[in-house]
Structure 1
Amino acid sequence: MASTTSSDVLPKGGKIFTTFPDVLFLPEFVIGGLVWILVASTHVYLPNPLGWVMFVSVFCFVGTTLWFFIFACGGNQSSFWPSMDVAFHFVSTVFYLSASVILAFVTYTFGQSIGTLFSVEPKVYRLCISAVVMSHVATLLYFIHTIFSAIRWKRS
């Protein structure tokens, strides 16, 4: 009788590029980096809650990078890694969802101020719109990764 071990469940090495939820590491990395760059290139007007958005984008960028290297080096073969995979991606999803809502609100506020005395430059407004789109895409990627990691965890 074959037993199910975590080595059957979580890929290691080059197999992370061929299994479905793990192939999302690269788009999460790229889109998260774009959110970080786009928010960092805007002007901060006080009071502005973009600090939370920057924290989330940097946290998820660094966390996904570490998670990717742990998977690539094969350090994920203990029995607790499938549940840690679900937990990390769930926290990242919740963080990005909150950051996306905040970023959308700030961008909406910037759009309402166009044409007033304290107007936002159109370039900054377009950067904020791009950041909103990328943060929602990152939220979707982390959500999909969470769902399929949870399915994999339940199978193990």
Structure 2
Amino acid sequence: MASSTSRDFLPSGGRIFTSFPDIFFIPEFVIGGLVWILVASTRIDPDNPLGWVMFVSVFCFVLTTLWFFIFLCGANQGSVWTSLDAGYHFLAVVFYLSASVALAYITLLHGAALNPEGLKIYRLEIAAVVMSYLATLLYFLHAIFSAIRWKRF
């Protein structure tokens, strides 16, 4: 008879590349990194909302990297990790949604006062807004499916 304590709670090692929702780690890296790069390549004006966007993108990029390596090394085999996984991704959704709204608002303001030399910056800001909302969607899907996995255990 198999013991109930030997059951794996979350995938580890190479299984995270084939398990759902952990397959979202790689797109979260790429899209979050793009948000970081695109916002950093524009003018930081006004400082406060775009500073929040930079904080969120860097914070989520670093924590997702840490989370990915915890999963890859297999240190996530306790019962608490399923709730931590769902909680972190819901926090990331709230952060990214607030950053996306602020970034879209600032981009809208920059578009209203557009001059010919500012067109390149404006296009970078639009790309950052799109990537930010895409990152929000990826973290949202990861959070929902992590919550479903948490509910099963």
TM range (shorter): over 0.9
Q: Which consecutive residues of structure 2, in runs of 5 or more, have no partner in the other structure?
A: none
For normalisation by structure 1, the TM-score amounts to 0.92
**Deviation for aligned residue 1:127:** 0.2
Match in the other structure for 2:72: 72
1:62-141 to 2 correspondences below 5 Å: 62-115=62-115, 121-141=118-138
Match in the other structure for 2:151: 154
Change (3 A) 1:81 1:13: same
* CA–CA separation in structure 2 for the residues paired with 1:134 and 1:6: 40
Match in the other structure for 1:24: 24
For normalisation by structure 2, the TM-score amounts to 0.94
**Deviation for aligned residue 1:78:** 1.1
* CA–CA separation in structure 2 for the residues paired with 1:6 and 1:80: 15
* CA–CA separation in structure 1 for the residues paired with 2:5 and 2:63: 25
Q: Deviations over 1:45-89 (max 9, x none)?
A: 245510000000000000000000000000001110000000100
Query: Does the 8 A contact of 2:9 with 2:79 survive in 1?
Result: no
Query: What is the DSSP-based 3-state SS (H/G/I as helix, E as strand, rest coil) of the residue aligned with 1:62?
Result: helix
**Deviation for aligned residue 1:9:** 2.9
Q: Percent identity?
A: 68
Q: Which consecutive residues of structure 1, in runs of 5 or more, have no partner in the other structure?
A: none
Match in the other structure for 2:8: 8
Structure 1 stretches of at least 4 aligned residues deviating more than 3 Å after TM superposition? 1-7
Change (3 A) 1:4 1:127: farther
Higher helix share: 2
* CA–CA separation in structure 2 for the residues paired with 1:99 and 1:120: 26
Query: What is the DSSP-based 3-state SS (H/G/I as helix, E as strand, rest coil) of the residue aligned with 2:42?
Result: coil
Change (3 A) 1:111 1:62: same
**Deviation for aligned residue 1:2:** 5.2
* CA–CA separation in structure 2 for the residues paired with 1:124 and 1:149: 37
**Count of aligned pairs:** 153
Query: Does the 8 A contact of 2:12 with 2:72 survive in 1?
Result: yes
Letter in 2 for 1:19: S
- Over aligned residue pairs, what C-alpha RMSD do you find? 1.7
* CA–CA separation in structure 2 for the residues paired with 1:79 and 1:101: 35
- After TM superposition, the structure 1 stretch with the greater mean CA deviation from structure 2, 68-77 or 2-11, is 2-11
